[in-house]
């Protein structure tokens, strides 16, 4: 999968949601898309970010924008995460991290002196034709959904 860049069309991809249903980028044709990558289901920062996006969903819908969260894990971890926090936006699982890699959102991370491979917290905005129009690097979970909303 080719890397993406600002102003270019993002290639279609298909991942599964919390119910194991295949969901492709093309499913949202004609709508703007906010795609955010988060490290792991049901962890403190990821929970804050997911809850804020879910709570702001009506505002995103008014702007004809869908919100899609992507991380590793499985459909089961996504379902448990959605059920526990009543999340209503789309969460997709990227078990091989191929989509995250194409968005340059996967690589070497450091935490408490330990190095490991993982997903970076980044957000991307695509227009109605799947062209990349904005990138948010080094995201802080609290307040991020509102920050993205203001950019639309």
Q: Catalytic site residues?
A: 46
- Distance separating alpha carbons of residues 13 and 1, to the nearest angstrom: 9
Q: Following CA atoms 136, 78, 143, 104 in sequence, which dihedral angle do they give, to the nearest 10 degrees?
A: -10
3 state SS of 93? strand
Q: Which helix (H) or strand (E) holds 82?
A: helix 75-85
- Look at residues 90, 74, 71 and name the one whose alpha carbon lies nearest to residue 82: 90
């Amino acid at each position: 999968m080719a890397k993406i860049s600002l102003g270019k069309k993002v290639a279609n991809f298909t991942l599964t949601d919390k119910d194991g249903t295949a969901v492709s980028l093309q499913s949202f044709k004609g709508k703007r898309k906010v795609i955010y990558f988060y490290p792991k289901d049901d962890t403190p920062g990821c929970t804050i970010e997911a809850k804020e996006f879910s709570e702001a969903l009506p505002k995103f819908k008014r702007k004809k924008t869908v919100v899609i969260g992507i991380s590793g894990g499985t459909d089961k971890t996504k379902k448990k995460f959605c059920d526990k926090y009543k999340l209503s936006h789309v969460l997709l699982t990227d078990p091989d991290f191929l989509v995250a890699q194409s968005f340059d959102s996967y690589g070497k991370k450091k935490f408490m002196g330990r190095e490991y491979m993982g997903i970076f917290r980044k957000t991307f905005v695509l227009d109605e034709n799947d062209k990349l129009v904005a990138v948010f690097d080094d995201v802080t979970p609290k307040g991020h959904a509102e920050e993205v909303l203001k950019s639309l």
